[in-house]
Amino acid sequence: MPTTLSERDSKALLAPYGIPLAAERLVTSPDAAAVAATELGYPVAVKLCGDNIAHKTERGLVRLGLSDPDAVAAASAALLDAARPEDRATGVLVAPMVSGNRELIAGIATDPQFGRTVLVGIGGILTEAIADASIRRIPITLLDAEEMIDDLATQSLLGPFRGEPPVDRQVLARALVGLSDAAEAHPEIVSADLNPLIVSEGRPVAVDALVEVTS
Amino acid sequence: MTVDAKRFEALFNPKGVVIAGASTHPGKFGFVSLHNLLSAGYAGNVFATNLEGSPVLGIPTLRSIEDLPENQADLIFVCTPKSANPDLLRSAAAKGITAAFLTSAGYGEAGPEGRRDEDELIDLCDELGILLVGPNGQGVVSTPASMCAQIVAPYPPIGSIGVASQSGNFISSFMNWACATGVGISRAVSAGNAAATSVVDFLHYYAEDPATSVGLAYIEGIADGPSVADGLTEVARHMPVVLVKGGSTSGGARAAASHTGSLATDDATFDGICRQAGVTRAATIEEAFEAAATFATQPLPKGNRVIVMTTAGGWGVVTADAITRHPDLELAVLPDDLLAAIDEKLPPRWSRNNPVDLAGGETRDTIPEVMQLIAEHDDVDAIVYLGLGIQSNQARMLRDGRFYPDHGIERIVEYHERQDGRFAQAAHDISVATGKPILTATELAVAFPDNAGPATVRDTGRLCYPSADRAVVALGHLWRRSRYRQRRGLPIT
């Protein structure tokens, strides 16, 4: 059975491979959370971090758009109180809010016949309904990655959109190559999800990451 | 030629063929396969075995494979029941047989016991040094050898498309399309259960085969994904490969599982793997055949700028829509100097735009001349030509009508047919001279295949597309391969 790494460990595993990740701090107390938030700049999001937290959003373990130290401290205290032993919580992640109208997804999956693949797709709440994704077998080249992005049907979402510049395809393509490189360097990776990659001022940034590894 | 390719020579270019289990009953596979082999004109040695030693189709048969002269045949086509096969193959190997095509059923497709027998068959052929094809296959065709060793029709015209299929019926389908269009086949083989030789193995051989310029394959299940993906990548580097995969939807996947006992993969994954490998994936059998026929008969375009040349307005408009809608092709902007050059050839009512609609302003030589101007222009990568055969269609009606040949009808009929023949020939010749694809489309290719226009396209060896939309789809496949190769620094000629 594969095991899931914490958000913090997932990001740490992927960070060396050129994957754009939102800045964040891991803290263990409400006061430290408030200090971290002030340093990072408001508004921020706080999330409970642990090795085994399922249904983070459904359980209310993600608090978004906090705009002052008191709100951050209060939210962090609530999250730490809500932690269950099986969550194996290690603290609270504080991250600046990344804003953008578009969301993408990217990741690594293991196909039962072809082995590990890299995926990029249109994200957000309509992901499943739109089902617009492009997949390649690992390893991929930068050219493969660029062609994956070209393959997406919803190209209009990648151009200039609602006052925001077009998606930076090079950043996105390098992130896909990064996923492929990470998978090659870590044969234990079964899957990885960058969901969502928020497109902020044209630049895709992963605000959440989840890696599964063979145990 | 590699060692593996040499093994396939006995299958596709055998010096002699033995039909094992030849039957006197015209309804049996053992009769039909001998019949097809003899009637297609195979020039090598032909032998047949029959338990009673009864002559079949006028040729004497051997009571046993033991009676086969040594080294006179290298392919055995097996129509005997499963239980007879191990002894048959042992004796055949001793007589110099190095390839076996098995039509026999009851192997892996029939459950666990059959699967055990199939495993034993694989081991036996390994031990005997026999290339095992099938079992449960439909047959093998090789037009350079005039060989039709199969239990079904048809025998296709000669050409350079190499076909391999996991489902025998699609071998027939592709060959029927070859018969219908005149764009021919080099080799075709049904992999059956693919016990030892897979569709990808055949494609590997085709990539080295001088008689084959494009691979056309149907697959359902994939047993070993990574090796299939690597194999397809390798093959597609050497020749275009057009693939149809059955079981792309959840409903189709369930059908495939019961058909070939194979596991389905996520279709988006398979699609991505084809793109990564440079394999042309087609959604339907006719799209696949037409793509393969186009690879076999047209040069690759260097770019995606397409000009539509038409003798009538509406066709051009719809084709412009199809090109514009295509995610990878571009409806070229008509260059000013080309516009000026065409102005010299036509009265002012022509479209003066792309589509280049001649609007009935053409005289005797206008079509070849304008086509040449367009094809020679540096800002044009491909042409779709519409309107061929209209006048010959009228000529047919005139000839079949009750006034023929009087009232000057005979002369105009001849003129129209000569002109359409010239136009079709020009489309071929200008394409060859410029190295640019020129695709001719008209439903007359289907409605009246003997129309001088489509018939001449066929005589030039090319496909006359039954609609402009289908020509655009085929051209799109050509351009994708060209772009794939250009981006990777691979030659496109």
- DSSP, res B167: S
Range with the poorest average pLDDT among A179-183, B359-363, B431-435? B359-363
| CA-based torsion, B292, B293, B297, B298: positive or negative | negative
Q: Give the neighbor-by-neighbor strand order of the sheet with A89-96.
A: A25-27, A89-96, A44-50, A62-66
Minimal Cα distance from B278: which residue of A?
Answer: A144
CA separation for the pair B345, B367 (Å, rounded): 9
> How many CA atoms, within 13 angstroms, populate the side-chain half-sphere of residue B315?
25
Q: Which carries the bigger pLDDT value, residue A83 or residue B66?
A: B66
ipTM for this prediction: 0.90
CB-CB under 8 Å, A135 with B268: yes
Residue that is last in its domain, among A96, A119, A145: A96
Which token pair is B307? Answer: 């000009």
Evaluate whether A171 touches A203 at the Cβ level (below 8 Å).
Answer: yes
The CATH number that applies at residue A41 is: 3.30.1490.20
Give whole-number Cα distances, B292 to A41, B37, B162, B279, B477, in Å.
59, 26, 9, 11, 9
Of A114, A134, A147, the CB nearest to B229: A114
Which token pair is B174? Answer: 């592709």
Q: How far is B123 from chain A (nearest CA, A)?
A: 25
Evaluate whether A82 touches A39 at the Cβ level (below 8 Å).
Answer: no
Evaluate whether B174 touches B163 at the Cβ level (below 8 Å).
Answer: yes
The boundaries of the domain holding residue B290 are 156-297
CB-CB under 8 Å, A148 with B271: no
Q: How far is A180 from chain B (nearest CA, A)?
A: 14
Residue that is last in its domain, among A78, A96, A114: A96
Residue B260 pLDDT class (50, 70, 90 cuts): very low
Q: pTM of this prediction?
A: 0.94
Number of domains in chain B: 3
Question: Has residue A154 been placed in a domain?
Answer: yes
Residues A85, A109, single domain; the answer is no
CB-CB under 8 Å, A151 with B275: yes
User: Mind spelling out the 3-state secondary structure of B271-334?
Assistant: HHHHHHHCCEECCCHHHHHHHHHHHHHCCCCCCCEEEEEECCHHHHHHHHHHHHHCCCCEECCC
User: What's the gap between Cα B81 and its chain centre?
Assistant: 32
Q: Judging by DSSP bridges, how do beta strands B438-441 and B382-386 pair with one another?
A: parallel
Q: How far is B269 from chain A (nearest CA, A)?
A: 5
The CATH number that applies at residue B267 is: 3.40.50.261
Put simply, whether A148 touches B (Cβ < 8 Å) is yes
Question: What is the structure's pLDDT at B313?
Answer: 81
Minimal Cα distance from B275: which residue of A?
Answer: A136
Residue B376 has pLDDT above 80, yes or no: yes
Question: Has residue B151 been placed in a domain?
Answer: no
Question: Has residue B147 been placed in a domain?
Answer: no
> How many CA atoms, within 13 angstroms, populate the side-chain half-sphere of residue B367?
25
Mean pLDDT on B402-413 = 97
Which token pair is B196? Answer: 């030892």
Put simply, whether B232 touches A (Cβ < 8 Å) is no
Minimal Cα distance from A117: which residue of B?
Answer: B269
Instruction: From chain A, pick out residues whose CB is under 8 angstroms from the CB of B273.
Output: 114, 135-137
Question: Has residue B150 been placed in a domain?
Answer: no
Question: Has residue A162 been placed in a domain?
Answer: yes
Residue A129 has pLDDT above 90, yes or no: no
CB-CB under 8 Å, A144 with B229: no
Question: What is the structure's pLDDT at A90?
Answer: 82
Put simply, whether B487 touches A (Cβ < 8 Å) is yes
Segment A17-30, tens digit of pLDDT: 999 999 999 999 99
The boundaries of the domain holding residue A53 are 23-96
Q: How far is B225 from chain A (nearest CA, A)?
A: 4
DSSP H or E run through A148: helix A142-151
Residue B280 has pLDDT above 60, yes or no: yes
Question: What is the structure's pLDDT at B210?
Answer: 97
Residue B12 has pLDDT above 80, yes or no: yes
Put simply, whether A140 touches B (Cβ < 8 Å) is yes
Of B225, B276, B488, the CB nearest to A113: B225
Question: Has residue B116 been placed in a domain?
Answer: yes
Question: What is the structure's pLDDT at B265?
Answer: 55
Q: Which carries the bigger pLDDT value, residue A195 or residue B158?
A: B158
Residue B261 has pLDDT above 50, yes or no: no
Mean pLDDT on B459-477 = 98
Question: What is the structure's pLDDT at B251?
Answer: 63
CB-CB under 8 Å, B226 with A147: no
Question: Has residue A8 been placed in a domain?
Answer: no
CB-CB under 8 Å, A143 with B271: no
Q: How far is A135 from chain B (nearest CA, A)?
A: 5
- In which residue are the tokens 């070939």 written? B260
